[in-house]
Structure 1
Amino acid sequence: MGRRTSLGVLVVLLAIAGWAVSLWLPDEAPATRSTPPPAVTDVPSPVGGPVDVAKVRGDLAGLATVARRPEGLVAYERSVFGESWADADGNGCNQRDDVLRRDAVEVRTGQQGRCDHDVLAGTWVDPYTGRPLTFTDLKEPRQAQAIQIDHIVPLSEAWRSGASRWPEDRRRAFANDLDNLLAVDGPTNMSKGDDDPAGWRPRKGFQCAYAARWVETKKRWSLAADDSERRALGEMLGYC
């Protein structure tokens, strides 16, 4: 009887101890490893390639210097670069359609007059923000305005850095230079306006390519640069 009594007491004590321990335990044990949310990354731009940084820096150093606001400069007017997009290469399509087709990830085109790639719809990647842009009807004014063709070196910037002395045909050629044009997000393009790199920059992941394209355009067209512009371009090339 003594042995059975001792066993019974032991069972009771273990039960009480287990009940007491349960009061201090949470209903559910926490997971030993949490799963992190998926990383958010920029969509890579289809525009641009490897940059020879040393060459670009050399080209930047070789640009003539101009004052940020040259004295005596006649006011800039958009019309001195032409009123609309031209068919600069004679392929039947104007430069807007050429750029939209060139920069598209996917594109749907049609025939309009002599143009066999009139762009109707498609998907692009805005190089300035890294966001995808998809449009179903670019003949609809709001959609057409939401994707714009940007001059990397703006026309007003070209005007103050040398184009004010050009003949009209050279200014028109600059306005339609495919290598100085990008298909970009409309609101982002509006925020850029006529700023140079000292006043506006794209996302960090595109600054290297942007600076290289800016310098290459200015060198090709013999345009000058001011001191604050040079500093900003040098900083952007640091991301290469």
Structure 2
Amino acid sequence: MSVRGVAFALLGALVMFSLTTREDVGTVEARAAPLDNPEGIRPGLAPVTTGDRSEARRLIGRLRVARMGSKAGYSRTRFGKNWADTAAGVPYARNGCRTRDDLLARDGENIRYRGGSECVVVAMDLRDPYTGRTLRWSKRRADEVQVDHVVPLSYEWRMGASRWTPAKRARIANDPLNLLPVDGDVNEDKGGSGPAGWLPPWRKVRCAYVVRFAQVALKYDLPVTRADKAVMLSQCR
């Protein structure tokens, strides 16, 4: 096994004790509760328990609110090269693998790499955090799994990232706390929406999703709209 493979195996062993799975009608519980995953290095998105919902609401309550600005000037390139490994100050940075492959390796199961590569994931099973379904994915159908920015880049731009340094924009674009491999069609439906405009189809993870959204916004001192904050609080009652 490669050094990188050993590292992911050890990480998996550390979190296996907390994994809770359920397989019925093709759904599988996701694995990492966001309140216990502040760096975003553990896989999946588990529902927030009833006992943790008050903590989730306190976290969301810390968010600043602001009006949404213009999208003028936005492009993906404003956040650095797509899935570049050059962003400093976030987990997995500068490890020799593209960010997308790091995230597929973090969240995937039964992973297969391209021959001779320690980085390029070519096939895996994914417990989709937004639908609860298990996806059988291969690189031949690459768009069937997309890596979602929990706080969309265009949303970040409109809420203040247009004034950030390029280095800070590269960090949030490649921070595993802000990244989840998900069903491609579901990600396309989300687009650049905040929680007031889009929530995961799987209702059980909606509180977890808005907690993750809030964690990213707080980490980067990014405000949210008043409507988004109200919806986020409502998901964790």
In which range does the TM-score fall when normalised by the shorter chain? 0.7 to 0.9
Backbone CA RMSD of aligned residues: 2.1
Contact residue 101 and residue 119 of structure 1 kept, 8 A: yes
| Distance in 1 between residues matched to 2:182 and 2:82, nearest whole Å | 18
Q: 1:42–1:50: structure 2 CA closer, same or farther, 3 Å change rule?
A: closer
SS at match of 1:222: coil
- Higher-Rg member (1/2): 1
Matched with 1:82 is: 80
Matched with 1:229 is: 228
TM-score by length of 1: 0.74
Instruction: Give the number of the structure with larger relative contact order, counting CA–CA contacts within 8 Å between residues 6 or more apart.
Output: 2
Deviations 1:159-211 (A, max 9, x none): 12221110111111111111110010111100111111100110101112101
| Distance in 2 between residues matched to 1:93 and 1:118, nearest whole Å | 8
Unaligned runs of 5+ in 2: 1-23, 32-43, 88-92
Matched with 1:33 is: none
Unaligned runs of 5+ in 1: 1-38
The percentage of aligned residue pairs carrying the same residue is 38
Aligned residues: 193
Matched with 2:198 is: 200
Matched with 1:185 is: 183
Give the CA deviation at 1:158. 1.0
Matched with 1:119 is: 121
SS at match of 1:117: coil
Contact residue 56 and residue 216 of structure 1 kept, 8 A: no
The AA in structure 2 aligned to 1:221 is Y
Give 4+ residue runs of structure 1 displaced > 6 Å after superposition.
none
The AA in structure 2 aligned to 1:100 is L
Q: 1:167–1:50: structure 2 CA closer, same or farther, 3 Å change rule?
A: same
141, 147, 154: which is aligned to 1:156? 154
127, 130, 136: which is aligned to 1:128? 130
SS at match of 2:119: strand
TM-score by length of 2: 0.75
| Distance in 1 between residues matched to 2:142 and 2:71, nearest whole Å | 34
SS at match of 1:206: helix
